Structure 1
Protein backbone atom coordinates (compact mmCIF):
# COMPACT_ATOMS: atom_id res chain seq x y z
CA UNK A 1 0.00 0.00 0.00
CA UNK A 2 1.53 3.26 -1.15
CA UNK A 3 0.20 6.17 0.88
CA UNK A 4 1.40 9.71 1.24
CA UNK A 5 3.66 10.45 4.18
CA UNK A 6 1.09 12.71 5.81
CA UNK A 7 -1.65 10.09 5.51
CA UNK A 8 0.67 7.48 7.01
CA UNK A 9 1.50 9.71 9.97
CA UNK A 10 -2.15 10.55 10.62
CA UNK A 11 -3.19 6.89 10.30
CA UNK A 12 -0.38 5.82 12.61
CA UNK A 13 -1.39 8.44 15.19
CA UNK A 14 -5.07 7.42 15.10
CA UNK A 15 -4.25 3.72 15.36
CA UNK A 16 -1.72 4.30 18.16
CA UNK A 17 -4.23 6.41 20.12
CA UNK A 18 -6.91 3.76 19.60
CA UNK A 19 -4.55 1.00 20.70
CA UNK A 20 -3.35 2.79 23.85
CA UNK A 21 -6.86 3.88 24.87
CA UNK A 22 -8.30 0.39 24.38
CA UNK A 23 -5.39 -1.23 26.22
CA UNK A 24 -5.90 1.13 29.17
CA UNK A 25 -9.59 0.27 29.15
CA UNK A 26 -8.77 -3.45 29.23
CA UNK A 27 -6.68 -2.95 32.36
CA UNK A 28 -8.63 -0.25 34.20
CA UNK A 29 -12.30 -1.14 33.64
CA UNK A 30 -13.94 -3.24 36.34
CA UNK A 31 -16.44 -4.87 33.95
CA UNK A 32 -14.72 -7.87 32.40
CA UNK A 33 -17.10 -7.96 29.40
CA UNK A 34 -16.15 -4.40 28.43
CA UNK A 35 -12.50 -5.33 28.85
CA UNK A 36 -12.92 -8.27 26.46
CA UNK A 37 -14.55 -6.05 23.83
CA UNK A 38 -11.77 -3.47 24.17
CA UNK A 39 -9.24 -6.27 23.74
CA UNK A 40 -10.79 -6.87 20.33
CA UNK A 41 -10.28 -3.16 19.56
CA UNK A 42 -6.60 -3.56 20.48
CA UNK A 43 -6.27 -6.48 18.06
CA UNK A 44 -7.97 -4.52 15.27
CA UNK A 45 -5.68 -1.53 15.76
CA UNK A 46 -2.66 -3.85 15.60
CA UNK A 47 -4.01 -5.19 12.31
CA UNK A 48 -4.18 -1.62 11.06
CA UNK A 49 -0.52 -1.21 11.97
CA UNK A 50 0.30 -4.27 9.90
CA UNK A 51 -1.55 -2.77 6.93
CA UNK A 52 0.57 0.37 7.20
CA UNK A 53 3.64 -1.89 7.05
CA UNK A 54 2.42 -3.48 3.79
CA UNK A 55 1.75 -6.78 5.58
CA UNK A 56 -1.77 -7.50 4.39
CA UNK A 57 -1.65 -11.23 5.05
CA UNK A 58 -0.46 -10.72 8.62
CA UNK A 59 -3.22 -8.14 9.17
CA UNK A 60 -5.85 -10.56 7.85
CA UNK A 61 -4.47 -13.35 10.05
CA UNK A 62 -4.55 -10.96 13.02
CA UNK A 63 -8.25 -10.23 12.48
CA UNK A 64 -9.27 -13.82 11.70
CA UNK A 65 -7.30 -15.54 14.47
CA UNK A 66 -7.20 -13.05 17.33
CA UNK A 67 -10.42 -11.11 16.81
CA UNK A 68 -12.50 -13.87 15.24
CA UNK A 69 -11.24 -16.78 17.34
CA UNK A 70 -9.33 -15.84 20.49
CA UNK A 71 -11.40 -12.79 21.46
CA UNK A 72 -14.70 -14.56 20.71
CA UNK A 73 -13.50 -17.52 22.77
CA UNK A 74 -12.75 -15.20 25.68
CA UNK A 75 -16.22 -13.62 25.40
CA UNK A 76 -17.92 -17.05 25.33
CA UNK A 77 -15.93 -18.15 28.38
CA UNK A 78 -16.91 -14.99 30.25
CA UNK A 79 -20.59 -15.09 29.36
CA UNK A 80 -21.14 -18.84 29.79
CA UNK A 81 -19.53 -19.06 33.22
CA UNK A 82 -22.23 -18.28 35.76
CA UNK A 83 -20.83 -18.83 39.21
CA UNK A 84 -22.50 -17.27 42.20
CA UNK A 85 -20.03 -15.92 44.67
CA UNK A 86 -20.54 -13.45 47.46
CA UNK A 87 -18.54 -10.27 47.33
CA UNK A 88 -15.68 -10.29 49.79
CA UNK A 89 -13.70 -7.25 50.76
CA UNK A 90 -10.01 -7.85 50.04
CA UNK A 91 -7.83 -6.67 52.93
CA UNK A 92 -5.07 -4.26 51.94
CA UNK A 93 -6.17 -4.11 48.33
CA UNK A 94 -4.05 -1.00 47.76
CA UNK A 95 -0.90 -3.15 47.97
CA UNK A 96 -1.97 -5.07 44.87
CA UNK A 97 -2.81 -1.88 43.02
CA UNK A 98 0.54 -0.29 43.86
CA UNK A 99 2.49 -3.43 42.91
CA UNK A 100 0.58 -3.64 39.62
CA UNK A 101 1.35 0.01 38.88
CA UNK A 102 5.06 -0.56 39.63
CA UNK A 103 5.22 -3.59 37.32
CA UNK A 104 3.43 -1.72 34.51
CA UNK A 105 5.73 1.30 34.92
CA UNK A 106 8.78 -0.98 34.81
CA UNK A 107 7.58 -2.69 31.63
CA UNK A 108 6.83 0.69 30.06
CA UNK A 109 10.31 1.97 30.92
CA UNK A 110 11.91 -1.22 29.55
CA UNK A 111 9.99 -0.99 26.28
CA UNK A 112 10.77 2.73 25.98
CA UNK A 113 14.49 2.08 26.36
CA UNK A 114 14.28 -0.69 23.77
CA UNK A 115 12.44 1.55 21.30
CA UNK A 116 14.87 4.44 21.76
CA UNK A 117 18.01 2.28 21.57
CA UNK A 118 16.99 0.26 18.50
CA UNK A 119 18.16 1.65 15.13
CA UNK A 120 14.89 1.80 13.19
CA UNK A 121 16.37 1.93 9.69
CA UNK A 122 14.50 0.93 6.57
CA UNK A 123 15.14 -2.56 5.28
CA UNK A 124 17.37 -2.74 2.23
CA UNK A 125 15.67 -5.87 0.90
CA UNK A 126 12.87 -5.65 -1.62
CA UNK A 127 9.29 -5.81 -0.39
CA UNK A 128 7.86 -9.29 -0.80
CA UNK A 129 4.46 -8.09 -2.00
CA UNK A 130 2.21 -10.91 -3.19
CA UNK A 131 4.90 -13.49 -2.40
CA UNK A 132 4.69 -12.68 1.33
CA UNK A 133 2.26 -15.55 1.96
CA UNK A 134 4.67 -18.08 0.44
CA UNK A 135 7.62 -16.71 2.42
CA UNK A 136 5.65 -16.72 5.70
CA UNK A 137 4.55 -20.32 5.05
CA UNK A 138 8.14 -21.40 4.42
CA UNK A 139 9.31 -19.80 7.67
CA UNK A 140 6.38 -21.30 9.60
CA UNK A 141 7.25 -24.83 8.56
CA UNK A 142 11.04 -24.50 8.77
CA UNK A 143 12.46 -21.91 11.16
CA UNK A 144 9.42 -21.30 13.38
CA UNK A 145 7.84 -24.76 13.35
CA UNK A 146 8.10 -25.32 17.11
CA UNK A 147 6.60 -21.91 18.14
CA UNK A 148 3.85 -22.40 15.55
CA UNK A 149 2.89 -25.79 17.00
CA UNK A 150 3.10 -24.49 20.58
CA UNK A 151 0.75 -21.65 19.70
CA UNK A 152 -1.77 -24.11 18.25
CA UNK A 153 -1.52 -26.26 21.41
CA UNK A 154 -2.11 -23.19 23.60
CA UNK A 155 -5.20 -22.25 21.59
CA UNK A 156 -6.49 -25.82 21.95
CA UNK A 157 -5.92 -25.67 25.72
CA UNK A 158 -7.83 -22.37 25.88
CA UNK A 159 -10.73 -23.94 23.97
CA UNK A 160 -10.86 -26.98 26.25
CA UNK A 161 -10.66 -24.74 29.32
CA UNK A 162 -13.57 -22.62 28.10
CA UNK A 163 -15.67 -25.74 27.52
CA UNK A 164 -14.86 -27.11 30.98
CA UNK A 165 -15.71 -23.80 32.64
CA UNK A 166 -19.00 -23.54 30.77
CA UNK A 167 -20.20 -27.04 31.69
CA UNK A 168 -22.91 -27.48 34.28
CA UNK A 169 -22.66 -31.00 35.63
CA UNK A 170 -24.61 -30.63 38.86
CA UNK A 171 -28.04 -29.05 39.06
CA UNK A 172 -29.49 -29.38 42.59
CA UNK A 173 -33.13 -30.41 42.93
CA UNK A 174 -33.66 -28.53 46.17
CA UNK A 175 -33.14 -24.83 45.58
CA UNK A 176 -32.41 -22.81 48.73
CA UNK A 177 -35.02 -20.35 49.84
CA UNK A 178 -32.73 -17.35 49.42
CA UNK A 179 -31.83 -18.39 45.85
CA UNK A 180 -35.39 -18.53 44.53
CA UNK A 181 -36.62 -15.86 42.17
CA UNK A 182 -38.85 -13.07 43.34
CA UNK A 183 -42.61 -13.44 42.74
CA UNK A 184 -42.49 -10.52 40.29
CA UNK A 185 -40.31 -12.46 37.86
CA UNK A 186 -42.32 -15.73 38.06
CA UNK A 187 -45.63 -16.57 36.41
CA UNK A 188 -48.31 -18.34 38.47
CA UNK A 189 -48.71 -21.99 37.51
CA UNK A 190 -52.14 -23.14 36.39
CA UNK A 191 -53.70 -25.63 38.83
CA UNK A 192 -53.63 -29.20 37.55
CA UNK A 193 -57.14 -29.98 38.94
CA UNK A 194 -58.72 -27.41 36.66
CA UNK A 195 -56.85 -28.78 33.68
CA UNK A 196 -58.11 -32.32 34.45
CA UNK A 197 -61.70 -31.12 34.90
CA UNK A 198 -61.65 -29.34 31.58
CA UNK A 199 -60.32 -32.41 29.76
CA UNK A 200 -63.03 -34.63 31.35
CA UNK A 201 -65.73 -32.18 30.23
CA UNK A 202 -64.42 -32.26 26.69
CA UNK A 203 -64.43 -36.06 26.70
CA UNK A 204 -68.05 -36.26 27.86
CA UNK A 205 -69.18 -33.83 25.23
Structure 2
Protein backbone atom coordinates (compact mmCIF):
# COMPACT_ATOMS: atom_id res chain seq x y z
CA UNK A 1 0.00 0.00 0.00
CA UNK A 2 1.32 3.48 -0.89
CA UNK A 3 0.95 6.21 1.71
CA UNK A 4 1.02 9.86 0.76
CA UNK A 5 3.80 11.84 2.49
CA UNK A 6 1.26 14.02 4.31
CA UNK A 7 -0.78 11.09 5.67
CA UNK A 8 -1.44 10.86 9.37
CA UNK A 9 -2.97 7.67 10.73
CA UNK A 10 -3.76 6.67 14.30
CA UNK A 11 -4.16 3.53 16.34
CA UNK A 12 -6.25 3.70 19.51
CA UNK A 13 -5.52 0.99 22.07
CA UNK A 14 -7.26 -0.07 25.27
CA UNK A 15 -4.78 0.27 28.14
CA UNK A 16 -6.74 1.27 31.27
CA UNK A 17 -3.76 2.38 33.35
CA UNK A 18 -2.07 4.48 30.65
CA UNK A 19 -2.41 8.24 30.08
CA UNK A 20 -3.70 9.23 26.61
CA UNK A 21 -1.45 12.30 26.51
CA UNK A 22 1.70 11.27 28.36
CA UNK A 23 1.89 7.70 27.04
CA UNK A 24 1.11 8.26 23.37
CA UNK A 25 3.61 7.16 20.73
CA UNK A 26 4.30 8.85 17.43
CA UNK A 27 6.64 8.00 14.57
CA UNK A 28 7.24 9.90 11.33
CA UNK A 29 8.94 9.21 8.01
CA UNK A 30 8.61 10.55 4.49
CA UNK A 31 5.59 8.24 4.17
CA UNK A 32 3.67 10.08 6.89
CA UNK A 33 2.98 9.80 10.59
CA UNK A 34 1.60 7.06 12.83
CA UNK A 35 0.25 7.98 16.26
CA UNK A 36 -0.73 5.41 18.90
CA UNK A 37 -2.94 6.62 21.75
CA UNK A 38 -3.91 4.53 24.81
CA UNK A 39 -7.39 4.97 26.27
CA UNK A 40 -9.06 3.64 29.45
CA UNK A 41 -12.41 2.59 27.94
CA UNK A 42 -14.77 2.88 24.97
CA UNK A 43 -15.96 6.38 25.92
CA UNK A 44 -12.34 7.49 26.05
CA UNK A 45 -11.75 5.95 22.62
CA UNK A 46 -14.63 7.92 21.12
CA UNK A 47 -13.40 11.21 22.57
CA UNK A 48 -9.80 10.58 21.52
CA UNK A 49 -10.88 9.57 18.01
CA UNK A 50 -12.88 12.76 17.50
CA UNK A 51 -9.92 14.80 18.73
CA UNK A 52 -7.56 12.96 16.37
CA UNK A 53 -9.81 13.80 13.43
CA UNK A 54 -9.61 17.48 14.40
CA UNK A 55 -5.82 17.06 14.40
CA UNK A 56 -5.94 15.87 10.79
CA UNK A 57 -5.85 12.10 11.15
CA UNK A 58 -7.24 10.40 8.05
CA UNK A 59 -7.61 6.85 9.33
CA UNK A 60 -8.24 5.47 12.82
CA UNK A 61 -7.87 1.84 13.83
CA UNK A 62 -9.01 0.42 17.16
CA UNK A 63 -7.43 -2.49 18.99
CA UNK A 64 -9.28 -5.76 19.46
CA UNK A 65 -10.10 -4.87 23.07
CA UNK A 66 -12.26 -1.97 21.86
CA UNK A 67 -13.92 -3.85 19.04
CA UNK A 68 -16.37 -3.07 16.23
CA UNK A 69 -19.02 -1.55 18.50
CA UNK A 70 -16.63 1.28 19.39
CA UNK A 71 -15.76 1.71 15.70
CA UNK A 72 -19.45 1.91 14.86
CA UNK A 73 -20.02 4.57 17.52
CA UNK A 74 -17.14 6.66 16.18
CA UNK A 75 -18.39 6.32 12.58
CA UNK A 76 -21.86 7.43 13.68
CA UNK A 77 -20.46 10.47 15.51
CA UNK A 78 -18.39 11.42 12.47
CA UNK A 79 -21.41 11.04 10.18
CA UNK A 80 -23.41 13.36 12.46
CA UNK A 81 -20.71 15.97 11.83
CA UNK A 82 -20.78 15.42 8.08
CA UNK A 83 -17.27 13.94 8.17
CA UNK A 84 -17.16 11.09 5.66
CA UNK A 85 -13.51 11.13 4.57
CA UNK A 86 -12.07 9.43 7.66
CA UNK A 87 -11.78 5.63 7.64
CA UNK A 88 -12.41 3.90 10.97
CA UNK A 89 -11.93 0.25 11.77
CA UNK A 90 -11.16 -2.30 14.44
CA UNK A 91 -9.05 -5.40 14.86
CA UNK A 92 -10.89 -8.68 14.56
CA UNK A 93 -9.74 -12.26 15.08
CA UNK A 94 -10.36 -15.39 13.02
CA UNK A 95 -11.82 -18.53 14.53
CA UNK A 96 -8.32 -19.93 15.11
CA UNK A 97 -7.50 -16.97 17.39
CA UNK A 98 -10.78 -16.13 19.13
CA UNK A 99 -10.24 -18.33 22.18
CA UNK A 100 -6.68 -17.09 22.66
CA UNK A 101 -7.75 -13.45 22.37
CA UNK A 102 -10.49 -14.02 24.95
CA UNK A 103 -8.00 -15.62 27.36
CA UNK A 104 -5.62 -12.70 26.87
CA UNK A 105 -8.39 -10.19 27.67
CA UNK A 106 -9.42 -12.17 30.76
CA UNK A 107 -5.85 -12.17 32.08
CA UNK A 108 -5.57 -8.41 31.48
CA UNK A 109 -8.77 -7.85 33.46
CA UNK A 110 -7.28 -10.03 36.22
CA UNK A 111 -4.23 -7.73 36.37
CA UNK A 112 -1.82 -10.46 35.30
CA UNK A 113 1.43 -9.32 33.62
CA UNK A 114 1.11 -9.66 29.83
CA UNK A 115 2.89 -8.57 26.66
CA UNK A 116 1.20 -7.63 23.40
CA UNK A 117 2.87 -6.96 20.06
CA UNK A 118 1.23 -4.42 17.74
CA UNK A 119 2.77 -4.33 14.26
CA UNK A 120 1.95 -1.58 11.78
CA UNK A 121 2.99 -0.95 8.18
CA UNK A 122 5.01 2.24 7.84
CA UNK A 123 7.54 2.66 4.99
CA UNK A 124 10.79 4.26 6.07
CA UNK A 125 10.76 3.02 9.66
CA UNK A 126 12.85 0.25 11.22
CA UNK A 127 11.30 -2.51 13.39
CA UNK A 128 14.08 -2.27 15.98
CA UNK A 129 15.26 1.34 15.98
CA UNK A 130 11.81 2.93 15.71
CA UNK A 131 9.75 0.67 17.94
CA UNK A 132 8.01 2.01 21.00
CA UNK A 133 6.58 0.58 24.18
CA UNK A 134 3.71 1.52 26.47
CA UNK A 135 4.09 0.02 29.93
CA UNK A 136 1.07 0.51 32.16
CA UNK A 137 -0.09 -1.66 35.00
CA UNK A 138 0.74 -5.24 34.14
CA UNK A 139 0.48 -4.75 30.38
CA UNK A 140 3.51 -4.15 28.17
CA UNK A 141 2.50 -3.14 24.64
CA UNK A 142 5.21 -3.21 21.98
CA UNK A 143 4.59 -0.89 19.01
CA UNK A 144 6.60 -2.11 16.04
CA UNK A 145 6.71 -0.50 12.57
CA UNK A 146 7.63 -2.53 9.49
CA UNK A 147 8.70 -0.91 6.20
CA UNK A 148 6.90 -3.44 3.98
CA UNK A 149 4.68 -6.50 4.21
CA UNK A 150 7.51 -8.95 3.51
CA UNK A 151 8.92 -8.29 7.00
CA UNK A 152 5.72 -8.71 9.01
CA UNK A 153 5.72 -12.48 9.59
CA UNK A 154 9.36 -12.62 10.73
CA UNK A 155 8.85 -9.64 13.03
CA UNK A 156 5.75 -11.28 14.54
CA UNK A 157 7.62 -14.54 15.12
CA UNK A 158 10.44 -12.61 16.79
CA UNK A 159 8.01 -10.80 19.09
CA UNK A 160 6.56 -14.12 20.22
CA UNK A 161 9.90 -15.90 20.60
CA UNK A 162 12.14 -13.16 22.01
CA UNK A 163 9.71 -10.72 23.63
CA UNK A 164 7.18 -13.34 24.78
CA UNK A 165 4.28 -11.51 23.17
CA UNK A 166 1.04 -13.32 23.95
CA UNK A 167 -1.07 -11.40 21.42
CA UNK A 168 -0.29 -10.03 17.95
CA UNK A 169 -2.33 -7.32 16.23
CA UNK A 170 -1.71 -5.96 12.71
CA UNK A 171 -2.42 -2.41 11.54
CA UNK A 172 -2.13 0.17 8.75
CA UNK A 173 -3.16 -1.88 5.77
CA UNK A 174 -1.49 -5.20 6.46
CA UNK A 175 -3.51 -7.48 4.19
CA UNK A 176 -5.06 -10.92 4.38
CA UNK A 177 -2.19 -12.73 2.64
CA UNK A 178 0.32 -11.31 5.11
CA UNK A 179 -2.02 -11.99 8.04
CA UNK A 180 -2.17 -15.63 6.96
CA UNK A 181 1.64 -15.75 6.92
CA UNK A 182 1.74 -14.32 10.44
CA UNK A 183 -0.71 -16.93 11.72
CA UNK A 184 1.58 -19.60 10.31
CA UNK A 185 4.73 -17.97 11.67
CA UNK A 186 3.51 -17.78 15.26
CA UNK A 187 2.16 -21.34 15.03
CA UNK A 188 -0.69 -20.96 17.54
CA UNK A 189 1.63 -19.52 20.21
CA UNK A 190 -0.32 -16.25 20.14
CA UNK A 191 -3.69 -15.15 18.73
CA UNK A 192 -3.43 -12.92 15.66
CA UNK A 193 -5.86 -10.14 14.74
CA UNK A 194 -5.89 -7.59 11.92
CA UNK A 195 -7.60 -4.24 11.44
CA UNK A 196 -10.26 -3.77 8.76
CA UNK A 197 -11.98 -0.43 8.27
CA UNK A 198 -14.70 1.58 6.49
CA UNK A 199 -15.82 5.18 5.99
CA UNK A 200 -18.72 6.93 7.71
Tell me which interval the TM-score lies in, with the shorter structure as reference length: under 0.3
Q: Indicate the structure with greater helix content.
A: 1
Bigger Rg, structure 1 or 2? 1
- Structure having greater relative contact order (Cα 8 Å, sep ≥ 6): 2
Q: Indicate the structure with greater strand content.
A: 2
In the superposition, the TM-score normalised over structure 1's length comes to 0.20
